[in-house]
Amino acid sequence: MMTKKSTPASRASLILFLSQMIAALEVPLDLSQPPTITHQSPKNYIVDPRENIVIQCEAKGKPPPSFSWTRNGTHFDIDKDARVTVKPNSGTLVINIMNGGKAEAYEGIYQCTAKNERGAAISNNIVIRSSRSPLWTKEKIEPKHVREGDPLVLQCSPPVGLPPPIIFWMDNSFQRLPQNERVSQGLNGDLYFSNVKPQDTREDYICYARFNHTQTIQQKQPISVKVFSMDSLNETISANLSDTDFYSAKPLTERRPALLTPVGSTSTKVELRGNVLLLECIAEGL
Ligand SMILES: *[C@@H]1O[C@H](CO)[C@@H](O)[C@H](O)[C@H]1NC(C)=O
Ligand SMILES: *[C@@H]1O[C@H](CO)[C@@H](O)[C@H](O)[C@H]1NC(C)=O
Ligand SMILES: *[C@@H]1O[C@H](CO)[C@@H](O)[C@H](O)[C@H]1NC(C)=O
Ligand SMILES: *[C@@H]1O[C@H](CO)[C@@H](O)[C@H](O)[C@H]1NC(C)=O
**In three state form, how does the secondary structure of 94-140 look?**
EECCCCCCCHHHHCEEEEEEEEECCEEEECCCEEEEECECCCCCCCC
Give Cα separations from 158 to 155, 162, 165 (angstroms). 9, 12, 8
Residue of the nearest CA to atom 10 in ligand 1? 108
**pLDDT value for 3:** 47
From the alpha carbon of 239, which atom of ligand 4 is closest? Answer: 1
User: Residue 119, Cα to own-chain centre: how many angstroms?
Assistant: 35
Q: How far is the CA of 234 from the centre of ligand 3 (A)?
A: 6
33-130 with 144-254: one CATH topology? Answer: yes
- For 185-239, how does the pLDDT look when each residue is reduced to its tens digit (9 = 90+)? 999 999 999 999 999 999 999 999 998 887 889 999 999 999 987 665 555 556 6
Q: Tell me the per-residue pLDDT of 112-161, one tens digit each, with 9 for 90 and over.
A: 999 999 999 999 999 999 998 888 888 889 999 998 999 999 999 998 88
Nearest atom within ligand 4 for CA of residue 143 = 14
Q: Global pTM? A: 0.66
What's the pLDDT score for residue 13?
Answer: 61
Q: Is the pLDDT of residue 177 over 70?
A: yes
- For residue 17, the 8-state DSSP code is H
Which CATH homologous superfamily contains domain 144-254? Immunoglobulins (2.60.40.10)
Chain-centre distance for alpha carbon 48: 13
Residues 238-281 pLDDT 10s: 666 665 565 555 567 888 999 999 988 899 999 989 989 999 99
Residue 1 confidence (pLDDT): 44
Whether pLDDT at 6 is above 60? no
Task: Supply the pLDDT for residue 100.
Answer: 85
- Is residue 212 lining ligand 2, measured as CB closer than 6 Å? yes
DSSP letter string over 172-222?
TTSPBPP--SSEEE-TTS-EEESS--GGG-EEEEEEEEEETTTTEEEEPPP
Q: 182 pLDDT exceeds 60?
A: yes
d(CA 170, CA 176): 4
Among candidates 83, 125, 281, which has minimal Cα distance to 192?
Answer: 281
Q: What topology does CATH give the domain 33-130? A: Immunoglobulin-like (2.60.40)
Q: Which residue has the higher pLDDT, 282 or 99?
A: 282
State mean pLDDT over 30-51. Answer: 91
User: How does 194-203 read in b/e, with b if 16+ C-beta sit within 10 Å?
Assistant: bbbeeebbee
State the pLDDT at residue 240: 63
Q: Whose CA is nearest to atom 11 of ligand 3?
A: 234
Report d(CA 11, CA 253) in Å as an integer.
102
Query: For residue 130, what are the β-bridge partners?
Result: 47
Report the residue among 74, 107, 130, 132 best suited for mutation to probe ligand 1: largest number of ligand atoms under 8 A from its CB: 107
What burial class does residue 272 get, using C-beta atoms within 10 Å of its C-beta: 0-12 exposed, 13-18 middle, 19+ buried?
A: exposed
For residue 264, give the DSSP letter. S
For the CA of 163, the nearest ligand: 2
State residue 260 phi and psi, 5-degree precision: -85, -35
Q: Where are the domains of the chain?
A: 33-130, 144-254
Kindly give the number of the ligand 3 atom that is closest to the alpha carbon of 234: 1
**pLDDT band at residue 73 under the 50/70/90 scheme:** very high
Q: For residue 41, give the nearest of 57, 30, 52, 62 by alpha carbon.
A: 57
